[in-house]
Structure 1
């Protein structure tokens, strides 16, 4: 069972990266604005989310301890950054469905990381 927890956390990280990249591509496909796509892909926050999310997915899949710690730090930072925007958006109206999905993915990732079996699996 310990094996499945780290794999599930890895799948959540991969889903998060897919949401980030998919959102950019979906916006490009609906608007056709290549300038916005290029600008979005050059943002440090976008590149960081894609790179660190991919690194986490690979590291957690293989059960590395550094990936577990990096996952905790990255999730805490992202929850602070995204959470402040998300709460402000909710207070002024409603948030888009994609924002709810991202919030759920971040919360689920943190919960799966904090399970004792996940920490025990990530010991290499």
Structure 2
């Protein structure tokens, strides 16, 4: 059985949330700096990315139309925020590998979200 486009988009969203949280946890495990972990987890942008990403992943899995619209708005905002930072890092030639993975996840999510099949599946 092939997964539906909306469920695939949901998995990509969940992978993005795991990258956000996982990056903070890896930094904590490597450095042991609890203060940095607490600070990172309390940033409004981090909390919003985790909450909205989880909400979109849940909604797309269940094929809700509101999740499609929320995902479209969220990926647009993230592409603008992350894209400007990422392009500035590329201009000096030192973008970390995790940044490439995040960029790939955002673009893949946008392409999946804009596919005709995903839009048609999210009708509830």
Please tell me whether the aligned partners of residues 2 and 117 of structure 1 are also in contact (alpha carbons under 8 angstroms): no
- Give the alignment's TM-score, normalised by structure 1: 0.97
Structure 2: where are the runs of 5+ without partners? none
Aligned residues: 124
Q: What are the Cα deviations for residues 32-88 of structure 1, in whole angstroms up to 9, with x where unaligned?
A: 000000000000000000000000000000000000000110000000000000000
Partner of 1:122 in structure 2?
A: 122
Q: What are the Cα deviations for residues 4-45 of structure 1, in whole angstroms up to 9, with x where unaligned?
A: 100000000000000000000000000000000000000000
Quote the Cα distance in structure 2 between the aligned partners of 1:8 and 1:100.
Answer: 20
Partner of 1:21 in structure 2?
A: 21
Structure 1: where are the runs of 5+ without partners? none
Please tell me whether the aligned partners of residues 6 and 61 of structure 1 are also in contact (alpha carbons under 8 angstroms): yes
Large movers: runs of 4+ above 3 Å: none
Quote the Cα distance in structure 2 between the aligned partners of 1:93 and 1:36.
Answer: 26
1:93 equivalent in alignment to 2:93: yes
C-alpha displacement of 1:2: 9.2
- Give the alignment's TM-score, normalised by structure 2: 0.97
Quote the Cα distance in structure 2 between the aligned partners of 1:15 and 1:2.
Answer: 19
Partner of 2:30 in structure 1?
A: 30
Partner of 1:80 in structure 2?
A: 80
Quote the Cα distance in structure 2 between the aligned partners of 1:44 and 1:108.
Answer: 25
